[in-house]
Amino acid sequence: MLDAAARLFIREGVHAVGVDRLAQEAQVSKRSIYQHFESKDAIVADMLRVYGPRVVAGYFSDDKEEHSPRERVLHVYDALHRAAEASDFYGCPFVNVATELRDREHPAAQVAQHFKSELTAYFERQAETAGAASPHVLAVQLTLLFDGASASAALCGGTPLAARLAAEQLWNAAITAGPGDDGS
């Protein structure tokens, strides 16, 4: 059920998909849906909650393999580049949903914010272990690039490679300027 919700809400947008359509696509009666969820808003929030980890996992490197912080960061943009090439890419689902709702207090928007901050935290961890001068600032900048590239790719197609390049430059500038241990 939440799978169908993810598919539809992400592909067409929250407002563009009604609960009737959702029930039909999920092969479930509308009545059952409203027994498990108190409202459509709750469906959207829960859908992001279960779909979110799958999304971020696609961008994080496998913890078991050994990668340098720099590699882990650039891997995010490589993954984005691959994702953006697919025909079913519609931009970052967190940004899209939160933007469409236009309400930062909306439960779904809070979930979206949470997963966005997970990406920033991931960047910050890499920046920290690489010895960046200002890990948090660098992490925020890398997140900006990610969001911009996602939106731009959905709008015009292309450009995530430019984001990777920009990320590389920002990373280099922040690391070589920082303390001794190099971030290679």
Partner DNA sequence: AACAATGTACACAGATCGGTTTACATTGTG
Partner DNA sequence: CACAATGTAAACCGATCTGTGTACATTGTT
Q: Which of residues 14-33 bind DNA (CB under 7 A)?
A: 17-21, 27-32
Pattern 44-83, a second copy, x by CB under 8 A: ----------------------------------------
Letters for 95-134 (x = contact with a second copy by CB under 8 A, - = none) are: xx-xxx-x-x----x--xx--xx-----------------
Q: With binding defined as CB under 7 A, does residue 117 bind DNA?
A: no
What percent of the residues of the chain are helix, what percent strand, and what percent coil, each to the nearest 5? 75, 0, 25
Contact between 162 and a second copy per CB under 8 A: yes
User: Least CB distance from residue 58 to a second copy, whole Å?
Assistant: 19
Nearer to DNA, 17 or 80 (CB): 17
Q: Which residues bind a second copy (CB under 8 A)?
A: 11-13, 15-16, 90-91, 95-96, 98-100, 102, 104, 109, 112-113, 116-117, 137, 140-141, 143-149, 151-152, 154-157, 159, 162-163, 165-166, 169-170, 173
